[in-house]
Every structure is written in C-alpha cells, then in structure tokens.
Amino acid sequence: MTGTVFNIQPYSLHDGPGIRTVVFLKGCPMRCEWCANPESQSISPQVWFDREKCISGKGCSFCAKLTDISRFDPAAFDGETKSFESICPCGALGVYGREMTVGEIIDRVEAESVFYGEDGGLTLSGGEPFMQGEFAIELLREAKRRHINTAAETCGQCSKEVLRRAAGLLDHIMFDIKLIDEERHRRYTGCSNRQILDNLEMLFAEFPKLRKRIRTPVIPTVNDNEEDIRAIAGLLSGRENYSYELLPYHRFGVGKYRLLGREYAAIPDKLDSELFEKLKQLTL
C-alpha cells in the first residue's frame, strides 16, 4: 500500500516522548491562516521553486528540458511532478510529496530504532495524517507489528471510524483544539469544529488508557485571550489521562509560502510573551 509523504524526520525531540521519527503525511482538510506547513495542505505532490537559490543566471541549465525556469510559477504549475524530484542540484527546485510504500517508510523508521529507548518511536504527522486514513492505519499496524512505539499528531478533523481504528494502534495521541467557538473556528480554519470535538469525546470515552496530549496553538488575534483558552481548559477539566499544552505562534513556515508561489495571510501581531505566560497559567 502506498501513500504520499512529504518528509521523514529522524531525531525529533518535540513530537511525543523520547527520540522519535516523524512521518509527515500530505493533505489536510483545514486551511488555517497561520499554517506553518503550507506544503502539507494539498494531498497531491507539489512543485516548489526558490528563486533565491536558483543559479540559472550563472549558466545552470539542468532543468531547461523541463521548464523555462526564469518564468516558472509553482502556483500555476499543474503538470507531472515526478521529473522535478531530483533535477535541481542547487536546492532551488523540487517537489513536496512522494509516493512511498508502508514497508519503505517503516524500514526507515525502524533503522532509527536504536535511538528510541523506552519511550521513543514513530510519530505520524501531517497535514492531517488521518486524511490518508487507511494508509495511516497500515503504517501504525506495521509499526506495532515491529514493536515500535506509536504516536500521532492530529487536528481532529477526520473520520471518527478512522480515528477509532487508529487509536487502537496508538500509544500516544497529540490532539489540537484551536477554538471552542464554532463560528470563529469556521472563519479561521475553514471548518466547523463539531467533528473535532465529537472525535475528542470519542477518544476520552472509548480509549481511557490512551495517553492524550491536547494542544492549542496560540495565535495572535485568533485565540490569544483568556476567554478562549479558559473555554478549552474548561472542556478538558475533570477528564483523565491527558495533559494540556499551549504552543506559541511562530512564523517559521513563511518561507515555504514563497516557494509555493503563495502569499502568507499575515497574522498581524506578534504574540505578546507576557500574555502567553499568563495564558499558560490558566492551563495548569
């Protein structure tokens, strides 16, 4: 079975317990304005181009047979992507997303297993990993078969049945909640949050032993206020076997919008660090 992966990152330290290898699956149903991984949104492979690194001006012409690079616009490109994968030696032109089999991926994950210790292992991330639901489940099943610890990061916007089957194969889950207010959730992410909250209820109800880490990215003007954070903390309060964490807004993804020929929907203000510290107090 194959799926589309846009990165496999060994030695990941902040994506679950221990040292982990994160497998990033392509595709996400949400369109958050602040998204730090714009290359993860579309489920298909996408060509990217970094004009700053291109040295066609210095006589480089390795890609000339594919395109006129001086006029290339990745956003407008919709042709075959495969031949773009390894044509450019300069790191200026490439493809986000590659078809891989379950075996290929888990072999790479297993190759790192000496580093996993007692807690580390595989983390599925995305995009939304459960958008490629059957593939994600197969990856988890294969990992479990090889006794590799499993975790997943999800935005919660996925089929309940897929999530239920995946949860049975998971040791940890990291589940994001952005807002409780449905109207604003729809405005900022393009989706209602009903499915998300429903899925969360299902996890708490049916998988009491699954270790859950609930996370909220704190985004300026979106949810960087006491009321929203209190609402999420309130929803969680009294439940068992979970931890709640706030993630500070960052702009590391901005450059990738440029590579895809897209504009970054400016999040106007930077996050106030004092405010962030104060909000963190609410989650304790």
Residue 204 to residue 210: CA distance in whole angstroms = 8
- The region of 23-31, 82-90, 164-172, 201-209 touching another protein under the rule CB under 8 A is 82-90
Question: What are all long-range contacts of 57-62, with beta carbons under 8 Å and residues at least 24 apart?
Answer: 60/89, 60/90, 62/87, 62/88, 62/89
Cα pseudo-dihedral 233, 238, 240, 243, rounded to 10: 20
Q: How far is the CB of 33 from another protein (least distance, A)?
A: 14
Counting contacts by CB under 8 A, is residue 12 touching another protein? yes
Q: How far is the CB of 277 from another protein (least distance, A)?
A: 8
Counting contacts by CB under 8 A, is residue 271 touching another protein? yes
- Amino acid found at 220: P
Identify the bridge partners of residue 211 per DSSP, sorted by sequence position: 172
Counting contacts by CB under 8 A, is residue 284 touching another protein? no
Count of positions on this chain that bind another protein (CB under 8 A): 43
Q: CB count, 10 Å around CB of 155?
A: 24
Counting contacts by CB under 8 A, is residue 251 touching another protein? yes
Residue 89 to residue 109: CA distance in whole angstroms = 26
By CB under 8 A, the residues from 101 to 160 that bind another protein are 111-112, 114-117, 120
Per-residue contact flags (x/-) with another protein for residues 61 to 80, judged by CB under 8 A: xx------------------
Counting contacts by CB under 8 A, is residue 13 touching another protein? yes
Sole residue written with tokens 């209602």: 192
| DSSP H helical ranges for 56-190 | 102-111, 133-145, 160-167, 182-189
* Helix, strand, or coil (residue 229): helix
Counting contacts by CB under 8 A, is residue 265 touching another protein? no
Counting contacts by CB under 8 A, is residue 58 touching another protein? yes
Phi-psi region of 191 (alpha: psi -120 to 50; beta: other; left: phi over 0): beta
- The region of 73-81, 182-190, 193-201, 266-274 touching another protein under the rule CB under 8 A is 266-274
Per-residue contact flags (x/-) with another protein for residues 14 to 43, judged by CB under 8 A: xx--xx----------------x-------
Query: Which of residues 58 and 209 has its CB atom nearest to another protein in the complex?
Result: 58
CB proximity list for 165: less than 8 A, separation 6 or greater: 137
Q: Which of 49, 103, 56, 98 is nearest to 77 (CA)?
A: 49
Which class for 52: exposed (0-12), middle (13-18), buried (19 or more C-beta within 10 A)? exposed
Binder among 1, 9, 99, 243 for another protein (CB under 8 A): 9
Counting contacts by CB under 8 A, is residue 264 touching another protein? no
Q: How far is the CB of 19 from another protein (least distance, A)?
A: 5
Q: How far is the CB of 242 from another protein (least distance, A)?
A: 18
- The region of 40-48, 55-63, 125-133, 202-210 touching another protein under the rule CB under 8 A is 55-63
The contact set with another protein (CB under 8 A) reads 9-15, 18-19, 36, 55, 58-62, 86, 89-91, 111-112, 114-117, 120, 220, 247-252, 254-255, 269-273, 276-277
